[in-house]
């Protein structure tokens, strides 16, 4: 099971009823945090999943609404008795962030590891991939994929005359050679099964690379800085998106559910514009503080 919590859904500046956009992912007791705007500590505290097991902090980019909570958060994590290294990931320019952190919080009881623009990261048995986006400064989108093991197919194993003593080895993906006979996992495994996928795209124009990057996500959280179609020009000029543009990506990406986030502080009632997304992609929802989704394999 992969738990995804939206910590907030605001863009640019924090407003009283909306924390800034950030997401916490929990998988097998370990956590990854995406973005650290101001008040991220407050949102994390309200969520109540703790801080100690955050192994990765993934930064989309270095605008203040995604970054300014980082030094304070790192300081507070010190109080959680963490001693294992914590990895900070981000696009080009991460050395400047690391210098600022050294200056602001020089004494941490755990090591910080910096990883600038990796293509992918292996996190337990989950793969994290990155996609360069199109914003006013370098920016990364992230996707999280958990593959599902294929089921053991007894009939297939029997039909292929595979001796029982080799079944468990083959099920684990090993090949067994007995004399001049080779038994492969393919001889005992059933069809491929759909895994779990979560994608997070914020602060960008809707570039053509996004639909394949988010393809068949169970959950796609995407920025919708502007609700009204009339703000499309503003979205183009500021390198953001409208609700309709985000919904179009969700449709092209064949995702199960779209959650909109990163609303402009001027967008007081995003619900008034939800129809613009609905017309393109029906399974859409508005982000809100501390909204949680648990993604599970279907039985």
Where in the sequence numbering do the catalytic residues fall?
A: 65
Contacts of 48 (CB under 8 A, 6+ apart): none
Residues that bind Zn ion (CB under 5 A): 11, 63, 65, 203
Tokens of 74: 């790192």
> 70: how many CB neighbours lie within 10 A of its CB?
24
Decide if 3 contacts 25 (C-beta within 8 A): yes
The half-sphere exposure of 36 on its side-chain side, counting CA atoms within 13 A, is 24
Closest contact distance (angstroms) between CB of 125 and Zn ion is: 31
Cβ nearer to Zn ion, comparing 169 with 288 = 288
**Cα–Cα nearest to 7, from 25, 21, 27:** 21
Closest contact distance (angstroms) between CB of 151 and Zn ion is: 43
CA distances from 269 to 194, 235, 246, 272, 276 (A): 36, 18, 17, 6, 13
Closest contact distance (angstroms) between CB of 68 and Zn ion is: 11
Closest contact distance (angstroms) between CB of 15 and Zn ion is: 13
Cβ nearer to Zn ion, comparing 14 with 195 = 14
Q: What is the DSSP string of 80-145?
A: TT--S-EEEEESTTHHHHHHHHHHHS---SS-EEEEES-SEEEETTEEEEEEE--SSS--EEEEEE
Cβ nearer to Zn ion, comparing 170 with 246 = 246
């Amino acid at each position: 099971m992969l738990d995804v919590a939206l910590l907030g859904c605001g863009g640019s500046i924090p407003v009283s009823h909306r924390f800034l956009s950030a997401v916490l992912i929990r998988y097998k007791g370990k956590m990854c945090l995406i973005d650290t705007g101001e008040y991220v500590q407050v949102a994390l505290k309200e969520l109540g999943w703790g801080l100690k097991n955050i192994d990765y902090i993934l930064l989309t980019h270095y605008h203040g609404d995604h970054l300014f909570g980082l030094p304070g958060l790192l300081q507070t994590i010190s109080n959680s008795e963490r001693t294992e290294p914590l990895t900070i990931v981000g696009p080009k320019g991460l050395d400047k962030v690391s210098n600022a952190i050294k200056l602001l919080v020089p004494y941490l009881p755990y090591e910080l590891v910096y990883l600038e623009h990796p293509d992918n990261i292996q996190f337990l048995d989950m793969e994290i991939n990155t996609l360069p986006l199109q914003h006013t400064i370098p920016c990364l989108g992230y996707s999280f994929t958990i593959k599902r093991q294929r089921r053991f197919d007894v009939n297939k194993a029997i039909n292929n005359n595979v001796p029982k003593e080799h079944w468990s080895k083959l099920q684990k993906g090993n090949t067994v050679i007995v004399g001049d006979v080779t038994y492969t996992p393919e001889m005992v495994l059933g069809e491929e099964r759909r895994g779990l996928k979560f994608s997070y795209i914020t602060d960008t124009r809707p570039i053509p690379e996004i639909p394949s990057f988010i393809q068949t996500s169970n959950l796609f959280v995407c920025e919708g800085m502007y609700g009204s179609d009339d703000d499309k020009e503003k979205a183009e000029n500021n390198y953001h998106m409208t609700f309709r543009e985000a919904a179009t990506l969700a449709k092209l990406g064949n995702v199960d559910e779209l959650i909109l986030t990163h609303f402009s502080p001027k967008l007081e009632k995003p619900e008034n514009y939800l129809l613009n997304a609905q017309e393109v992609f029906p399974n859409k929802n508005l982000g809100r503080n501390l909204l949680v989704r648990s993604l599970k394999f279907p039985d």
